[in-house]
Amino acid sequence: QKEVEQNSGPLSVPEGAIASLNCTYSDRGSQSFFWYRQYSGKSPELIMSIYSNGDKEDGRFTAQLNKASQYVSLLIRDSQPSDSATYLCAVKLHGSSNTGKLIFGQGTTLQVKP
């Protein structure tokens, strides 16, 4: 079992729709979770962090965390063609508290069609 798992997609949604991206993780003790956006040929860009169960909203983005189910998701409302990218889920594992290194999923490719 991979430590962080994402469906590689592609996930295709029409412009204006809600895109829902999902991520599961194996380390039950993990406390810190991140979503990065990566355009083709570019480096990852941090868009959301979440540390507590529940929802965290930032503009059109909402991160949702359910530690009991070991599940974190990212919702993108009013999706735009410019949101088309690969979205990476990253987890700071419980055992890595001394370094803070992140474990990444393989990413989900999102395509927003005009």
- Under the binding rule (CB under 8 A), the answer on residue 39 touching other proteins is no
Footprint on residues 78-97 left by other proteins (CB under 8 A): 88, 90, 92
Can you tell me which of 10, 14, 45, 59 binds other proteins, judged by CB under 8 A? 45
User: How far apart are CB 84 and other proteins at their closest, in Å?
Assistant: 17
- Under the binding rule (CB under 8 A), the answer on residue 50 touching other proteins is no
Long-range contacts of 5-8 (CB under 8 A, 24+ apart): 5/105, 5/106, 6/87, 6/88, 6/89, 6/105, 6/106, 6/107, 6/108, 7/108, 8/106, 8/107, 8/108, 8/109
Instruction: Look up residue 103 and give its DSSP letter.
Output: E
Q: Which amino acid is at 61?
A: F
- In the complex with other proteins, the residue whose CB is nearer, 20 or 49, is 49
Q: Which two tokens stand for residue 107?
A: 């990413």
Listed ranges 10-18, 46-54, 67-75, 77-85: which one lies at the site for other proteins (CB under 8 A): 46-54
Q: Where do contacts with other proteins occur on this chain (CB under 8 A)?
A: 4, 8, 32, 34, 36, 42-46, 49, 51, 88, 90, 92, 98-107
